[in-house]
Amino acid sequence: MIKKKVYVYKGFERFWHWMQALLIFFLAFTGFEIHGSYTFFGYRDAVRYHNIAAYMFIVLIAFAIFWHFTTGEWRQYYPSFKNIAAQLNYYIFGIFKNAPHPTKKTVLSKLNPLQKLTYFGLKVVIIPTLVITGLLYMFYRYSNSGIIESLDISSLKLIATIHVIAAFFMVSFVITHIYLITTGEKVTTNLKAMLTGYEELEEPEDEANITLNTKLD
Amino acid sequence: MKKIILILAFLALLVVIAIGSLSEPDTEASALTKLKEKYSKKEKPLVDHSKFAILQQKFPSAQAATKACETCHNKAAEQVMASNHWNWEREEYVKGRGVIYLGKRNAINNFCIGTKGNEQSCAKCHIGYGMTSSGKVYTDSLNIDCLVCHDNTETYVKAPEKAGYPAATLNLNNIAQSVGKPKNSNCGVCHFYGGGGNNVKHGDLESALFDATKDLDVHMAVDGMNLQCIDCHTTTHHNISGKVYSLSSMSHNRNTCEQCHTSTPHDDEILNEHTLKVACQTCHIPTYAKANATKMYWDWSTAGRLKNGQPYSEEDSMGNHAYMSIKGSFIWQRNVTPDYLWFNGTASHYLEGDIIQDTTKPLILNPLHGSYADDESKIIPVKIHLAKQPFDPVNKILIIPKLFAEDKGEGAFWKDFDWQSAAKIGMEESHLPYSGKISFIKTEMLWPINHMVAPKENSLQCNSCHTRENSRLAGLNDFYMPGRDYSKIVEEGGIWIIIITLIGVFIHGSGRIYVRLKSGKGDKK
C-alpha cells in the first residue's frame, strides 16, 4: 500500500485545537485553585484569570461552531457504532500484537469510532455542562447590580457541584487523550500531524488526488 | 506590500482597542476623594458662648448651669427628654413578644448585670443628675446634664457613685463657656468605658481612639480624617443615629457604612457583589481590641473571695484585672479575631423575669436574627462575651443582684460579699420572685463590631474565608462558599476517576513498552 503525505488538519482546526488545549489547561489549573485544591496564584487572581480564560474559551467555541458548520466538518463527530467493537478490541489486544489499526484514517473520516463517540460526548455533554454551569456560577446573584434579575438562584451548591463533576471528567479525558495520541504509527506521529497539519496516510484507492501531496513531491 | 499594510493596520487597531479597554478612566475624582474633601472642611461655630453674661455668673449647682443653658435653648430639654440617652429605654418591637420598652433601665447583661438598685453607681454614665431607683430623675428638665456631651474643654467628668453629678473640683463656668458640638472625647468618656473600665464591653470602642492612628481606626485617626463620632452618628433634634444590639431590637435608625460609601464602593465588580451578603465590617475590621484588651469572659461565681477579710484583686500579664473580689474572674484578649454571624438588623432579648427554657445550654441574652436564606441578612463580625452569672435554679430566671450601696450592712454584694442578701434585695428592688436558691449559668452576649476599621491594605483577603482550612466563616454552614465547601462524594469520586485513568494509562503504556522491547529482542535474534 502506498503512503502519501496528506493535509489532514486545516489551519483553523490546529489553531482551535491548541488554543483549546491551552485554555483547558489554564482553566483547570485556576479552577481547581478556586475549588480549594491548592494555592498558586492566590484566590483573587485565580478567580480573575479563570473568568477571563472562560470568556476566551466561549469566544473560541463560537468560532469553532461556525467553522464546523460552514465547512461541514461537524459530520466528523457524528457518532457511529460501526466497528466500535473492532476498535476496542484493537486497544485492548491488537495494539500489543502490532496488529494494524482497524479503521482507516482519511481526510473525510479522521476519527475512529471510539474517538467519534468520545469527542461527541465531550462537545455535547462535558463542555456545554462546564460552560453553562460556569456562566450560572459567574452571574449567580448578580441581581444586586441589576444585570440579570431573573437569575436569582438560592444556592450555588448545585451549580458548583456539577461544574466540578464535569471538570473531573475533563481532566480524566485530557490524561487519556494525551496518552492515546502516542498510539499512532510512531509515538509522535499524531502530535506531528496536529502541529503541522500533514500526516502520512494510506492512499484511498477510489479517491482522486485531491490532496496536496503532489505539490509536496 | 498591500498585505503588510493591512496586517499593520489590523495590529494598530488591536493595540488601540487594548489600550482603550485596559486603562482605567481617571478623569473623574473617585468617590473616596470626594468624601475626604467633604469631611476635611470643619465647621466653624456661629456663636462664642464665653461672651454670654449668663454663663459668667457663678453656678451654685450643676442644675444651675443647666438652667442657664435652657434659658436660651428653650426647646432642647424637650428633645433631650425624648431621647434614649435620657430615658435609658426606647420603644422596640420584638417578633413574638410585641412592643416592649427596652434599655439600660430594664435590660440584663452579662457584665454588671443590671442597673436596678445600682442607679447611684450606674448614673456615672447617664446624661442627668441625681438618679435614684425611684425614677423621679427622668421628669425634671433641670436634671439634664448638658455639659457631659457639649463640654469642649475636655475636662468635664462625673464623680463616681454620685448619681451622675460632676466632680466637685470642676470650673463649670469655663466648661459652660466652651460648649459646642460633641467631640470624640464627650462620647468616649462613657462609651469607651462601659462595663466598668476601658474597652470592657464593646471591644471596638476604647480610650485609644481618643488619639487613634490610621492602623487603629482609619476614620478617627488624628493624623488622618480625624472624624468625630457625630460625623457618622448624625443627629437631629438630639436624636442620635446608630445603636448597639445589646439594647436594640429593630432595624431602624441604624448607622451604616453605606451612608457615605454606597453599597458598591469597590472598583472590582466581584467585590461589589459581596456587599449583598457580607457587611463591610466583616472584611474591613479584621481584628478588634487592637490597642487595649477587651473582656471576653466574666465569671461571677468566683466573686466574694476575701484575703484577711478584705477584698482584693489580681492582674493578668497585660495589667488587666484577672480577679476582683467584687466581680469575680475575667479573661481579657487583645487583637481578637471576631466571630461571624448572619444578621438582618433585628434582635430579641432576655428581659428581667423571663423563664430560661433550657438551663443546661449557654443562654444567649441578645440573639441576633438572620440566615443566608433571609434577603435582609448579611454576615457581620461580632464579639461574643461569655459569662457565668447568678440565676435562680428554682424559678429559672436570672438574678439581678444588689451590687452597690454606700455602706456595709445594706446587703450590697460589693460591700458585704454575701450572694444571698445581694440576690434577695436585688430581686426585691426589681419586683421579681426569688426562691432563696442561687446558682450560676453560662450566658453569652453578642456585640456587633463596627469600629476600628482598618486601612484598606489591611482588610481581609479572599482566602481568609475562601479556604478549606481555618476559614473565618467556618462556623456559617447554611450556604455553599467556593474554596471552602465541596461535595465529599464528588471530591472522592473525582480523585478516583483520575487515579483509575492514570492506572489505566500506566498499565496500557507498560504493556506496549514491554511488547516493543520483547519484539525488539526478537528482531536481534
Hey, are the CB atoms on B493 and A47 less than 8 Å from each other?
A: no
For residue B374, give the chain A residue with the closest CA.
A154
> What does the pLDDT average to over A207-214?
44
Beta-sheet strands, E only, within B438-522: 439-448
pLDDT value at position A146? 47
> What does the pLDDT average to over A84-104?
83
User: Is the per-residue pLDDT at B95 higher than 60?
Assistant: yes
> CATH number of the domain at A3-216, out of 1.20.950.20, 2.60.40.1220, 2.40.50.140, 3.20.20.10?
1.20.950.20
What is the DSSP code (8-state) at residue B29?
Answer: P
User: Which residue has 514491554 as its cell numbers?
Assistant: B514
Hey, are the CB atoms on B515 and A97 less than 8 Å from each other?
A: yes
Structure confidence at residue B127 as a pLDDT band (50, 70, 90): very high
User: Is the per-residue pLDDT at A93 higher than 90?
Assistant: no
User: Is the per-residue pLDDT at B102 higher than 50?
Assistant: yes
Highest mean pLDDT among A18-32, B112-126, B158-172: A18-32
A142 touches chain B (CB under 8 A): yes
User: Is the per-residue pLDDT at B441 higher than 70?
Assistant: yes
pLDDT digits (tens, 9 = 90+) for A99-150: 888 887 888 788 888 888 889 999 999 999 999 999 988 877 644 444 555 5
> What does the pLDDT average to over B269-291?
94
A215, B3, B6, B7: CA torsion to nearest 10: 60
pLDDT value at position A215? 38
Among candidates B276, B484, B495 on the partner chain, residue whose Cβ is nearest the Cβ of A144 = B276
B343 bridge partner residues = B378
B517 touches chain A (CB under 8 A): no
Mean pLDDT of chain A: 84
**How far, in Å, CA of B45 to CA of B125, rounded?**
27
> Cβ distance B159 to B62 under 8 Å?
no
pLDDT digits (tens, 9 = 90+) for A46-62: 999 999 999 999 999 99
pLDDT digits (tens, 9 = 90+) for B327-353: 999 999 999 999 999 999 999 999 999
Mean pLDDT of chain B: 91
Residue numbers in A near B509 (CB within 8 A) = 179, 182
User: Is the per-residue pLDDT at A1 higher than 70?
Assistant: no
pLDDT value at position B120? 83
**How far, in Å, CA of B306 to CA of B487, rounded?**
57
Chain B: closest CA distance from residue A28 (Å): 13
**How far, in Å, CA of B216 to CA of B238, rounded?**
29
pLDDT value at position B112? 93
pLDDT digits (tens, 9 = 90+) for B467-509: 999 999 999 999 999 999 999 999 999 999 999 999 999 999 9
pLDDT value at position A112? 83
Residue numbers in A near B272 (CB within 8 A) = 144-145
pLDDT digits (tens, 9 = 90+) for B276-285: 899 999 999 9
Residue numbers in A near B277 (CB within 8 A) = 141
User: Is the per-residue pLDDT at A36 higher than 70?
Assistant: yes
User: Is the per-residue pLDDT at B173 higher than 80?
Assistant: yes
User: Is the per-residue pLDDT at A211 higher than 50?
Assistant: no
User: Is the per-residue pLDDT at A204 higher than 80?
Assistant: no
Domain ranges in chain A are 3-216
pLDDT value at position A149? 54
Chain A contact probe: residue of B277, B501, B510, B515 with most A CBs at under 10 A: B501
For residue A157, give the chain B residue with the closest CA.
B480
pLDDT value at position B21? 61
Residue numbers in B near A144 (CB within 8 A) = 263, 272-273, 275-276
B479 touches chain A (CB under 8 A): yes
Largest CA distance in chain A: 67
**How far, in Å, CA of B131 to CA of A57, rounded?**
73
B439 bridge partner residues = B391
H or E stretch covering B384: strand B378-392
A54 touches chain B (CB under 8 A): no
User: Is the per-residue pLDDT at B525 higher than 50?
Assistant: no
Structure confidence at residue A208 as a pLDDT band (50, 70, 90): very low
pLDDT digits (tens, 9 = 90+) for B192-246: 999 889 999 999 999 999 999 999 999 999 999 999 999 999 999 999 999 999 9
User: Which ipTM score applies to this complex?
Assistant: 0.86
> What does the pLDDT average to over B425-453?
95
Structure confidence at residue B45 as a pLDDT band (50, 70, 90): confident
Chain B: closest CA distance from residue A161 (Å): 7
DSSP symbols for B327-370: TEEEEEESSBPPEEEEE-S-B---BTTPPPS-TTSPEESSPBP-
Among candidates B273, B466, B509 on the partner chain, residue whose Cβ is nearest the Cβ of A144 = B273
**How far, in Å, CA of B454 to CA of B49, rounded?**
38
pLDDT value at position A83? 81
> What does the pLDDT average to over B70-87?
94
Hey, are the CB atoms on A172 and B508 less than 8 Å from each other?
A: no
Taking CB atoms and an 8 Å cut-off, how many pairs form between chains A and B? 97
Q: How far is CA A85 from the centre of its chain?
A: 23
Structure confidence at residue A21 as a pLDDT band (50, 70, 90): very high
